[in-house]
Amino acid sequence: MNRLVNLCLPRRRNVGRGCNSYGFSLVELMIAMILGLLVVAGVIQLFVGNRITYSNNEALARVQESGRFALEIIKPFVRGVGDSGFCGGDLRPRIHLDVAGSPDLDFFNWGRPVVGWEAIGTRPGQSTPYLITSLDPDDASFADWGGPGPLPPALRGRSVPGSDILVIRRQELVTGVTGSSTATNNPGQPNIVTNTGHGIAQCEIVMVTNCSTGADIFQNGPSAQANSLTKSGGQCSPGNLSGSASPDWSTSYADDMQLYRTRTLALYVGWNEQTQQPGLFQIDLTGGSANVIAEELVEGVENMQLLFGFSDDGMSLAAGAWRPASEIPDWRQVTAVWVSMLVRSPEVAGTEPLQATFSLAGTDVRNQEDRRFRQVFSSRIAVRNQMIKL
C-alpha cells in the first residue's frame, strides 16, 4: 500500500511492539481539496450575491432619493409663481426694464411668470419614442427648442438634447425695509430712499409697491447706495430704460412701501463635467441675465418633459388642456405645470444591460442600453397665483 507518511512514535515502556502510523492517501487528499474548494466557492458566491444585492439596493435608493428631492425643489417655486407679495390681487406694476426687442424678454416679461421651451422631437403622442443618444449640451443647437420665442442666450449650450426647460418667477419680500418717511421720493427722481439698509446688490431686479397707488419693477443700478435704490446707471443686463424713454415712478413712496426681490430661475437638465453625470441644474436670473452661474441641484436627472395646464376660456380655475410649451398661445392663462423626470443611478448596477421605454408627461423616452437603474418621477403642480387671477 502506498503511504505518504510512515511515522512511528517512540516506544512506550512495557509495550512489546512498535506502533505503525499511516498518513492520508492521495485519493483522500484530493477529496479533501475538492470539499474545501466547494466550501470556498460557496462563500465566494454568497459574497458576490450579497454585493450585487447591496449595489442594487444602493442604486435604487439613490434614484428614489434624487427623484423625490428634485420634485420637492420644484414644487414650491411653481406654486409661488406670479406672487405679488402681501398685496394680493392682480398687481399691475410699471416696468422700467429695457427688454423691448431683447432676447431676454421671456425672462423678465411680467405677463409671463412661468414659461418653458419644448425640445424638438419630444412632442407627446409621437409615433416613435425619443431615443437618448447624447447627454452633451454641445450636441444641441438653440434652435432645437420651441417656446414663446428663441431660446435666450443665457440658456444656450446648457441643456442636454431632448430635455425641456422651465423658467419661473416669483417675488420674495425683503423684510424690515420701507420707503423713508423723511424723504420726498418723488416720481420724477431716479432714486428711492429707504428707511434702512436694504441688502439689494447691484443689478438685482426688484419690485417696490405700496399695494394701492403704485408698483414699479426695475434693476437696481450700480450707483445705488446702502440705503437707497436707483434705476439710473448702466452696466446691467437687461438694464433700465434711460433718457426720454425712462418713465417716472408710478407713485411717491413712503413708509407704507414694500420691497421685493424678483426671483427668476431657469431649470433644465445639464451635464456635470466633473462627475460625468447628468443632473437638474438652475441658473438664477435675479441679478439679470449677464454672468449667470449654473448650479447643480440634483444629480442623476437624465431627462425632463413638461406640459402646461392651459385655461382655454381664461375663466376656469382648472387646467382645461395639457399642452407643450410650443403650443401655448398666452402664458398668462397657464394654471398648472406637469413636471416629469427620468432619474438614473450614478453607478452601474445589476448584471445585464437594460434598455426600456419610459413615459414622461405623455412623451415616450428610451434610454441607451446600459446597466443603470432608472425611474420616472412626475407631479402636476398648480400655479396658485395664476388661478386666483383668472
Q: What is the pLDDT of residues 167-215, one digit of tens each?
A: 999 888 898 999 988 888 888 888 999 999 999 988 899 999 998 888 9
pLDDT tens string 269-279? 999 999 999 99
- Cα(304)–Cα(160) distance, rounded to whole angstroms? 10
Give pLDDT, residue 104: 81
Phi, psi of 54 (to 5 degrees): -65, -45
The pTM score is 0.83
Give the tens place of pLDDT for each residue, 270-329: 999 999 999 999 999 988 888 788 999 999 999 999 999 987 765 555 555 899 999 999
The answer for residues whose C-beta is within 8 angstroms of residue 307's C-beta and 6 or more apart is: 124, 322, 323, 324, 337, 338, 361, 362
At 80 the pLDDT is 83
> Higher-confidence residue: 10 or 157?
157
Residue pair 203/104 in contact by the 8 Å Cβ criterion: no
Identify the pLDDT of residue 316. 58
Rounded distance between C-alpha atoms, residue 57 and residue 370, angstroms: 17
DSSP letters spanning 52-79: HHHHHHHHHHHHHHHHHHHHHHHHHHHH
Bridge partners (DSSP) listed for residue 260 = 173, 207
User: What is the mean pLDDT of the segment spanning 352-363?
Assistant: 91
Report how far residue 338's alpha carbon sits from residue 340's, in angstroms, rounded to the nearest whole number.
7
